[in-house]
Structure 1
């Protein structure tokens, strides 16, 4: 009984030692993406080995049922999830180098979350985790008039949708001073955040700005209120709205963000390229070492064959000598025999 337990313990230790040789890693804890663009989710085995014959599974670990994103098994890609079908891809050539990075195309706000890369062979398995943070610029804010209160104040409502992460909305007067919102509504769906603020303006002759900001993005709409246009005692309200979206500023900031994102992707691609070059050098070094070992083995084999041939030849010469000695002795005996007669 003790022998069986000891044997199982040794086998378990050997299995653990083998599985502990490799680990699945990701160089980035968080990958930043822009809605509508493509992104690479890095994942690889360290030290580098081929994962072509292994199972590679990408899935969402932040969702309730761990939603499958992409599955590679038995040398085939198997993806049945409607949310990701046609948008995920593994590079099969990179799988030979242990690189199981996933390309996710046409990023959506709903793609934001926690992802896991699981690689499994017959003897070991491991996984790495990373987060995707998706940024989306929403629609220009829209100002609508909800009427007047009993004191003659003008009710205004500003709404914008399609943002991610949560944007900041504020009201400003013509002097740039911030105005307090009376009600605030924030909702989130698969397309991102929608925000709605209401305010009551007591001074009719003014310019009111509704501004939505998210990091380096800013969209703004202006409404001009005038006592000539707005009469609290009239039932008919004529609204003149001037939408002044800061296209130039937003465009410059957006270009800066795109440039920063491209630089990030460039650095990431450089890292992947350097990694590929290192892996190629290691493979080349390993191949040359194998060739040297093969040559040494061949030399050793030939030396062994030469030694055996030399030994056989010496044995043959020895036998020939013995045979000659016997012939010589027999010949002498035959010569001596007639003399005796």
Structure 2
């Protein structure tokens, strides 16, 4: 009889243990979040049993403290990473359905990383990893005209800042054909990137697009290269050329005038010296006659 009771208890214990077995499931692909917005980090258990009485912990693989901890039917933040306080939330109503997804509010670039969703019952535990990628959308690109070259090409500069990760910047003509940038600059300030590219165009009446993009976001600005721009350039070149010619002519006149003035001064000086010599000779003859 005792043997039968012991066997029943053992079988009952094994059955209860197996009834608590579950699998924690996370997303197969990275979760993309936008800086400044909210994001849901998915995590579920299979079968969809209640986890109200279990321990649910979210943490980062590169840090030891919790991102969020649920234990003994309440959220605990005593060991929560300071930068996450007030920004994480579990939907308690969803815990009954085995949904332990975490809501992260006001996403920051520093939130990017790998997270682990860990669920533990009295006799079983499992976890899943969630890869979070953060994108920060910068300011719309600004195109400025940076002058002309000697052959009449129009220099254009496109600049945009506030992006993460480093964005791609490309120039396109009105037909959507990519144009090669001549110079490229990239700078990183704290956790954001700024980009600046330049290009030279020779066609008037064309629409030139500057496009800055990440994987899921894109901003674009265009400029119309009108005939007036190139006419203004030609007018400027003509005016500058005339101005240079006038300066050269003025320089030549100044040199000629200076040379004539110097020659006149030398001639006047020689004439004065000759006059002084004659005066001395006449004065000497008069003095000799007076002595006699």
> What is the CA–CA distance in structure 2 between the aligned matches of 1:42 and 1:154, rounded to whole Å?
51
What SS is found at the alignment partner of 1:227? helix
Pair 1:70 & 2:68 matched: yes
CA change 1:42–1:204 in 2 (3 A) is closer
Number of residue equivalences: 219
Aligned pair in 2 of structure 1 residues 185, 66: CA closer, same or farther (>3 Å)?
farther
1:227 aligns with 2:225: no
Worse-matched range after superposition: 204-213 or 21-30: 204-213
Contact kept? 1:91, 1:100, Cα under 8 Å = yes
Change (3 A) 1:48 1:171: closer
* C-alpha displacement of 1:53: 4.0
Task: Write the deviation string for residues 281-332 of structure 1: whole angstroms up to 9, x where unpaired.
Answer: xxxxxxxxxxxxxxxxxxxxxxxxxxxxxxxxxxxxxxxxxxxxxxxxxxxx
TM-score between both structures, scaled by the size of structure 2 = 0.57
Counterpart-to-counterpart distance in 1, 2:142 and 2:65:
36
Secondary structure at 1:99 match in 2: coil
Structure 2 counterpart of 1:22: 21
Deviations 1:28-81 (A, max 9, x none): 2233444544332222333344433433211223xx436642122343323443
Aligned 8 A contact 1:152 1:232 in 2: no
The structure with higher relative contact order (CA 8 Å, sep 6+) is 2
Q: How does 1:137-286 map to 2 (within 5 A)?
A: 137-147=137-147, 153-163=153-163, 167-173=167-173, 176-186=176-186, 193-201=193-201, 207-214=207-214, 217-222=218-223, 224=225, 226-230=229-233, 231=236
Match of 1:47 in 2: 47
Conserved? CA contact 1:158–1:198, under 8 Å: yes
Report if the CA contact (8 A) 2:139-2:161 is conserved. Answer: yes
**Any stretches of 5+ residues in structure 2 without a counterpart?**
1-12, 241-292
- 2:257 corresponds in structure 1 to none
Matches within 5 A, 1:54-133: 54-61=54-61, 64-65=62-63, 68-79=66-77, 80-133=80-133
Give the Cα separation in 2 of the matches to 1:133 and 1:209. Answer: 28
Rounded to whole Å, the distance in 2 between the matches of 1:52 and 1:204 is: 68
List gaps (5 residues or longer) in structure 1. Answer: 1-13, 236-341
2:137–2:217 CA contact under 8 A, matched in 1: no
Give the drift of 1:19: 8.2
Identify if the C-alpha distance between structure 1 residues 115 and 198 changes in structure 2 by more than 3 Å, giving closer, same or farther: same
Give me the TM-score of the superposition, normalised by structure 1: 0.50
Contact 1:154 1:204 in 2 (8 A): no
